[in-house]
A and B are shown apart, each in its own frame.
Chain A
Amino acid sequence: MTITAPGTAPAAAATRTAVVTGIGVVAPNGLGTEEWWSATLRGESGIRPVPDHSTRPGQAPLIGLIPGFEAADHLPGRLLPQTDRVTRLALVASDWALADSGADPAALPEYGMGVVTSNATGGFEFTHREIRKLWTQGPQHVSVYESFAWFYAANTGQISIRHGMRGPSNVLIAEQAGGLDALGHARRVLRKGGELVLTGGVESAFDPWGVVSHIAGGRVSRSGHPDRAYLPFDTGASGHVPGEGGAILVVETATAAAERDAGQVYGEIAGYAATFDPPPGSSAPPGLARTARLAMADAGVTPEDVDVVFADAAALPALDAAEAAAIEEIFGPYGVPVTAPKTMTGRLAGGGPALDTAAALLAVRDSVLPPTVNVERPVPGRRIDLVRGEPREARVEVALILARGHHGFNSALVVLAPNRMAAAPAGVPAAVRHHT
């Protein structure tokens, strides 16, 4: 069944191609897309101790923390009392993504623009402060903005209000996998008639309550050494470091981008798939390999076409083994470069896959693979070609991004370089063109 917006002609696949025209990044190792990307290629990490944590030196929990973010430098005063740090970061990333794209929301139809983001934690710091007022001063002293500032949907809502984007808007939550689910859904919104979607994910939950909640999740590394705490695929893997930040992307139909003469097209969101793992105790294999195959099929590419895989990189031995096995099963031993630049930011939950997608698009642009840092002792017998220590020059036309969310969520996304995109006559699906 084909669904089209009322009053529009059925859209040919090629004209509804979802292209990325703007990127906005807020990351622990760089505020702003180019700052983050150059730091990433230099191997600079943003993992550091929680500030002001009153424990012994070396014992403070580690997080991927964004230093030097002053919301008042970027946002109007009226927005500050109604937003948690996470939403301020998301609003700034959105502003930067739009500026990068050159799109002017005021010049576009308000119901043709939507916002689709992922967020797994909501606004902890805001709630921590206001609930403290509730039990120390009483309900009449609690900010009215507590009513929504804590909420997972606050990022999508505030971005929508700020830019007058009144078209279909959503929030997708599947821990880490949700970040790719948002991008996949953004493409769906465009296929149903939208023109432009701000999409991606941003997280931040590192007030004391938030830090404790991350630790209670049971997958956080206990190491106090920033360069030894998050070691995916390493014999020392002992959990991850949680981080804050993420990325917001401007995604448009190829037609809309061409009509407004967009300054750049980073690439196409060409394939997406999501699965659930089988229930605990099942003899069926985990779903990651199947998810990756489905996303590649959706994009019309084969494993031989893929130039790089951005790994989920859980850094727990069993999960690393499962991911390495999935990659080897699909691509063969050492069959494709694999990287995890999230070793420099920590895992950003809903923000992580959006940041990985930004990295994939910049890898396409600059013909370079960002490195995985600190992994010095890969687990023997896992035959994956991990890009370790230094960036690697490589032509990138097809990138696969993998993400797993706690409790069995798997998602995969394929991005294509502009030269691999739908340049063929309108109406010819990309999946057909790549095989002819």
Chain B
Amino acid sequence: MPAFTLTEFRQVVEKCFQGEAGPLDETALDATFSDLGFDSLMVYEVTVRIQDEYPVEITDDELDELRTPGAFIAFVDARLSVSG
């Protein structure tokens, strides 16, 4: 069972941006962050928060390759599965 899904991702984004998660639903999984209105700093901020809340570390180089919420969620979930 996945440990990190769209639901968890949305929760972290809402915590970062005071309840504003923007258009993050199933249809947004394969859209790029920039098309969803996330600038690069917003993606980094979400990553910092995820590292606060989950036993996971993501390097800057890895993050640069994660251009969509779907890719991001799958990466974090895989990393958590390995460490768990």
Contact = CB atoms under 8 A, between A and B. Distances in A.
B78 to A, nearest CB: 19
A213 B51 CA distance: 33
A145 B41 contact: yes
Contacts of B19: 77
A140 B48 CA distance: 6
B83 interface: no
Contact of A140 (B17, B18, B42, B51): B51
Given A140-B51, A141-B51, A80 B17 contact: yes
A367 interface: no
A23 B36 CA distance: 35
Interface in A116-143: 137, 140-143
B45 interface: yes
Interface string B13-37: 0001111100000000000000000
B45 A72 contact: no
B44 A144 contact: yes
Contact of A82 (B41, B48, B52): B41
Nearest to A144: B44
B48 A143 contact: yes
Contact of B42 (A72, A78, A147): A78
The secondary-structure label for the interface of chain B is helix
A281 interface: no
Contacts of A142: 48
Q: How large is the interface on A (under 10, 10 to 19, 20 to 34, 35 or more residues)?
A: 10 to 19
Nearest to B59: A140
A144 B51 contact: no
A78 B36 CA distance: 13
The secondary-structure label for the interface of chain A is helix
Contacts of B20: 76-78
A369 B23 CA distance: 52
* Most B CB within 10 A of own CB, among A72, A78, A145: A78
B45 A144 contact: yes
B8 interface: no
B71 to A, nearest CB: 19
Contacts of A51: none
B17 A77 contact: yes
Contacts of B16: 81
A80 B18 contact: yes
A260 to B, nearest CB: 31
Contacts of A78: 17-18, 20, 42
Contacts of A144: 41, 44-45, 48
Contacts of A72: 18
B45 A145 contact: yes
* Most B CB within 10 A of own CB, among A77, A137, A145: A77
